[in-house]
């Protein structure tokens, strides 16, 4: 039956073939050309889809090298054109020398139908070419054009005319059957590749592409799978590096901001928010609206104008007083670009350094002043004696007594400085032992009782029986209390000084519910802390001066302190000795009512 069918077909072809040969020869040229162009258009369209996925999203640079690289893979001339018709990349000619292509037929058709084609003579290459153009879906909405010469088509038509009498029917049937079969397989493979690409685009990197086809399509599927895996690895690595960078920026002690040339904050770490007391998100907002710092705006303006690194100290008053070193560094992206892309602004807290610098300046000035006064007096009175006052016994005695007083003052000043220095460098060791607090206070009062009696003020102690013993260096504790009580005597005109001891549960907070401290109790509950307070009824200290008490040579009333023989180092010594004991000192004062100095001491036993 197959043979009958075959004979019928063969007979039919033997009858029809001579009739059709003449018409076929004339018609076949057109058919071959159209078929060739159709297949060529289909293949070029596939190439454009693959190439379009690799084109950068924005035409920011010359794409000639990109086009040349893909011409080596496809064999087609590749041209990339922006939406204005300007050629931004070409595989055969320098793009900057090519004329505007917006009026090309294939470009006009593509701008309307997304795909355009044309056959025409190329003035650049001097050959007939088939052109296929498609629109791009990137940010610049340009065109991708592929073109191939048609000299192979003419040769194919000539060969076909010579062979048409023998193989026209077989070639036609074979071409149709093979073409349909191969086209179906290729189309199916392309559909699977397109589906896979959509999965990757949606972020599903676990998807894989499996094709039954062998050869180039199988190789293409393998390369796409490898590319997807590599892309997944790169994205994971990129996210990991980004998270690391975010953690570094977030935990930096220095403030860091990235600001564009329009003044908008692109990046900001938490240190900047802490410096300026800001809780809201600052990124994407103008700097002038978030920080409202004229100094920072000026620094940024100067950096953009001069294209140089600028550094300047700025003051911050809210939420706390700070001194910040602001450094503005211009950056360029890409690096070879001469136009500034933005500013990197770093803020370094130098408040402590400024405070130390001020203390150093004050220290040098005060030491110089304190030493100069007694030295000047000693020199003046010595010169007076040498010039003849030595013979005046009455005045000579007074002058010598003055010289002695100033020398003692100078010696006291040097001793205090040496003591402070020894404490700071650790030469003076604190040897704690059980010390009777009541006995120490009696020793201090015995030393200063005459001085207090002369001014008509009282010295009083209030020490509960259960708090008489503490851990301390006895000599240094006497020195601490001696300085504090002596200060109280100096600045108290009426009333007196009271030294108290209290148990506390919280550091620096007196207990209101009394602790059981009676010796006869079965269980003795010790307080967590012992608070020793030295209270006077003197002139007090203004509130603004309280933070500076304890600085070397700092005195609220300089004239009166100097008149009373103070060097301004007493509280500084107390502060350092308390710190050396690992205790805490707090000062409270009301001007005109008196001052209370509290020393907070951890208890010997907590329970």
Give the 3-state secondary structure of 484-521.
Answer: HHHHHHHCCCCCEEEEEEEEECECCECCCCCCCCCCCC
Task: Give the DSSP H/E element, type plus range, for residue 95.
Answer: none
Bridge partners of residue 322, in order along the sequence: 316
Report CA-CA distances (Å) from 89 to 63, 94, 378: 4, 8, 92
Rounded to an integer, what distance in angstroms lies between the CA atom of residue 132 and that of residue 109? 10
CA–CA separation, 395 and 407 (whole Å): 18
Q: What 3-state DSSP class applies to 436?
A: strand
Residues 197-248 pLDDT 10s: 777 777 777 777 776 666 777 777 778 788 888 888 888 888 888 888 778 8
Most confident by average pLDDT, 391-395, 472-476, 477-481, 495-499: 495-499
Cα 99 to Cα 89, 123, 283, 488, 576, distances in angstroms: 12, 11, 44, 96, 84
Between 224 and 361, residue with greater pLDDT: 224
- Say whether pTM exceeds 0.85: no
- What stretch of H or E contains 588? strand 584-590
Does residue 335 form part of some domain? yes
Q: What is the C-alpha to C-alpha distance for residues 80 and 96, in angstroms, rounded to an integer? A: 12
Q: Is 544 a domain residue?
A: yes
Last residue of one domain, picked from the residues 349, 381, 407: 349
pLDDT given for residue 369 in this prediction: 62
Q: Are residues 305 and 405 in the same domain?
A: no
Of 1 and 50, the one with more pLDDT: 50
Q: Note the pLDDT tens digit of each residue in 364-418.
A: 666 666 677 778 878 888 888 887 777 777 778 888 888 887 787 777 777 777 7
pLDDT in the model for residue 3: 42
CB proximity list for 372: less than 8 A, separation 6 or greater: none
Extract the tokens encoding 119: 């056959």
Residue at token pair 């259960």: 466
Q: Are residues 51 and 74 in the same domain?
A: yes
The string of pLDDT tens digits covering residues 523-537 is 445 568 889 999 999
Do 417 and 483 fall into the same domain? no
Q: Are residues 442 and 556 in the same domain?
A: yes
Element (H, E) at 130: strand 127-135
User: Mind listing the pLDDT tens digit for each residue in 261-284?
Assistant: 888 988 888 888 888 888 888 888
Average pLDDT over residues 289-298: 84
The candidate with the shortest Cα–Cα distance to 189, out of 167, 162, 220, 160, is 220
- The count of domains in the chain is 5
Q: In terms of domains, do 62 and 24 share one?
A: yes
Please report the DSSP string for 32-61 in residue order: HHHHHHHHHHHHHHHHHHHHHTTS-SS--S
Is the pLDDT at 344 greater than 70? The verdict is yes
Task: Give the burial string for 376-409 (b: 16+ CB within 10 Å, else e).
Answer: ebbeebeebbeeebeeeeeebeebeebbeebeeb
Residue 259 φ/ψ, nearest 5 degrees: -125, 135
State the Cα–Cα distance between residues 270 and 246, nearest whole angstrom: 11
Residue 242 is assigned to a structural domain of this protein? yes
- Do the beta carbons of residue 550 and residue 572 sit within 8 Å? yes
User: At a CB cut-off of 8 Å and minimum separation 6, what does 226 contact?
Assistant: none
Instruction: Give me the sign of the Cα torsion angle 506, 507, 508, 511.
Output: positive
Query: Coil, strand, or helix at residue 363?
Result: helix
User: What is the CATH classification number for the domain harbouring 113?
Assistant: 3.30.450.20
Phi, psi of 385, rounded to the nearest 5 degrees: -65, -40
Please check whether residues 466 and 528 belong to one and the same domain.
yes
Residues 184 and 231 in one domain: no
Tell me the residue range of the domain where 215 lies.
201-247
Domain harbouring 391, CATH code: 1.10.287.130
In whole angstroms, what is the distance from residue 83 CA to residue 38 CA? 27
511 has pLDDT over 50:
no
DSSP string, 213-231: --THHHHHHHHHHHHHHHH
Is pLDDT at 86 greater than 70 in this prediction?
yes
| Domain final position from 374, 391, 424 | 424
Residues 540 and 398 reside in one and the same domain: no
Place of tokens 């000047």: 376
How high does pLDDT run on average in the chain?
A: 77
Average pLDDT of 169-181?
A: 54
The answer as to whether 607 is a domain residue is: no
Among 424, 448, 474, which residue terminates a domain? 424
Whole-number Å distance between alpha carbons of 296 and 292: 9
Q: Are 273 and 279 in contact (CB under 8 A)?
A: yes
Q: Classify residue 362: in a domain, yes or no.
A: yes
Q: Which residue has the tokens 């000639």?
A: 64
Q: Cα(57)–Cα(63) distance, rounded to whole angstroms? A: 12
Same domain, 94 and 181: yes
135 and 160 in a single domain? The answer is yes
Same domain, 210 and 98: no
332 in any annotated domain: yes
CATH number for the domain that contains residue 540: 3.30.565.10
Which pLDDT score is estimated for 605?
Answer: 44
Domain shared by 476 and 579, yes or no: yes
In a domain, 121, yes or no: yes
Radius of gyration for the alpha carbons in the chain, expressed in angstroms and rounded? 48
């Amino acid at each position: 039956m197959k043979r009958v069918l075959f004979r019928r077909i063969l007979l039919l072809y033997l009858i029809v073939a001579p009739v059709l040969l003449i018409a076929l020869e004339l018609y076949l040229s057109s058919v071959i050309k159209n078929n060739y162009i159709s297949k060529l258009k289909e293949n070029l369209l596939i190439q454009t889809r693959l190439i379009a996925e690799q084109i950068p999203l924005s035409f920011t640079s010359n794409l000639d090298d990109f086009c040349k690289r893909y011409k080596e893979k496809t064999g087609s001339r590749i041209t990339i054109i922006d939406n204005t018709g300007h050629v931004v990349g070409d595989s055969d000619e320098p793009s900057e020398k090519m004329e505007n292509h917006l009026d090309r037929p294939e470009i006009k058709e593509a701008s309307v139908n997304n795909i355009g084609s044309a056959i025409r003579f190329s003035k650049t290459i001097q050959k007939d070419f088939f052109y296929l153009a498609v629109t791009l879906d990137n940010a610049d909405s340009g065109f991708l054009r592929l073109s191939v010469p048609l000299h192979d088509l003419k040769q194919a038509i000539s060969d076909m005319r010579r062979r048409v009498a023998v193989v026209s029917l077989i070639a036609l049937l074979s071409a149709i059957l093979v073409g349909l079969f191969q086209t179906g397989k290729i189309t199916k493979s392309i559909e699977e590749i397109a589906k896979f690409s959509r999965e990757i685009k949606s972020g599903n990197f676990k998807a894989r592409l499996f094709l039954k086809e062998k050869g180039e399509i199988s190789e293409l599927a393998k390369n796409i799978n490898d590319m997807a895996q590599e892309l997944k690895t790169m994205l994971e690595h990129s996210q990991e590096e980004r998270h690391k960078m975010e953690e570094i920026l977030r935990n930096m002690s220095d403030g860091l901001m990235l600001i564009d040339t329009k003044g908008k904050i692109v990046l900001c770490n938490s240190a900047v928010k802490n410096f300026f007391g800001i809780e809201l998100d600052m990124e994407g907002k103008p700097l002038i609206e978030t920080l409202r710092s004229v100094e920072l705006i000026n620094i940024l303006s100067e950096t953009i104008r001069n294209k140089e690194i600028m550094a300047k100290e700025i003051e911050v008053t809210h939420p706390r007083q700070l001194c910040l070193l602001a450094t503005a560094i211009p950056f360029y992206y890409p690096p070879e670009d001469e136009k500034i892309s933005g500013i990197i602004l770093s803020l370094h807290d130098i408040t402590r350094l400024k405070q130390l610098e001020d203390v150093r300046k004050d220290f040098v000035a005060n030491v110089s002043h304190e030493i100069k006064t007694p030295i000047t007096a000693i020199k003046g009175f010595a010169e007076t004696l040498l010039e003849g006052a030595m013979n005046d016994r009455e005045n000579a005695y007074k002058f010598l007594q003055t010289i002695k007083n100033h020398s003692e003052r100078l010696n006291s000043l040097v001793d205090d400085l040496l003591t402070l220095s020894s404490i700071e460098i650790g030469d003076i060791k604190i040897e704690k032992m059980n010390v009777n607090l009541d006995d120490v206070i009696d020793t201090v009062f015995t030393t200063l009782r005459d001085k207090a009696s002369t001014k008509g003020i009282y010295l009083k102690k209030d020490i509960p029986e259960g708090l008489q013993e503490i851990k301390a260096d006895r000599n240094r504790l006497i020195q601490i209390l001696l300085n504090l009580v002596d200060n109280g005597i100096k600045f108290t005109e009426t009333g007196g000084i009271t030294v108290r001891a209290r148990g506390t549960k919280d550091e620096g907070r007196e207990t209101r519910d009394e602790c059981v401290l009676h010796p006869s109790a079965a269980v003795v509950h010790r307080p967590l802390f012992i608070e020793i307070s030295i209270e006077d009824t003197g002139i007090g200290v203004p509130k603004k001066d309280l933070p500076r008490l304890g600085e070397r040579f700092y005195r609220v009333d300089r004239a009166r302190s100097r008149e009373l023989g103070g060097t301004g180092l007493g509280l500084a010594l107390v502060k350092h000795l308390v710190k050396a004991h690992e205790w805490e000192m707090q000062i409270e004062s009301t001007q005109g009512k008196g001052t209370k100095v509290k020393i907070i001491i951890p208890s010997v036993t907590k329970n």
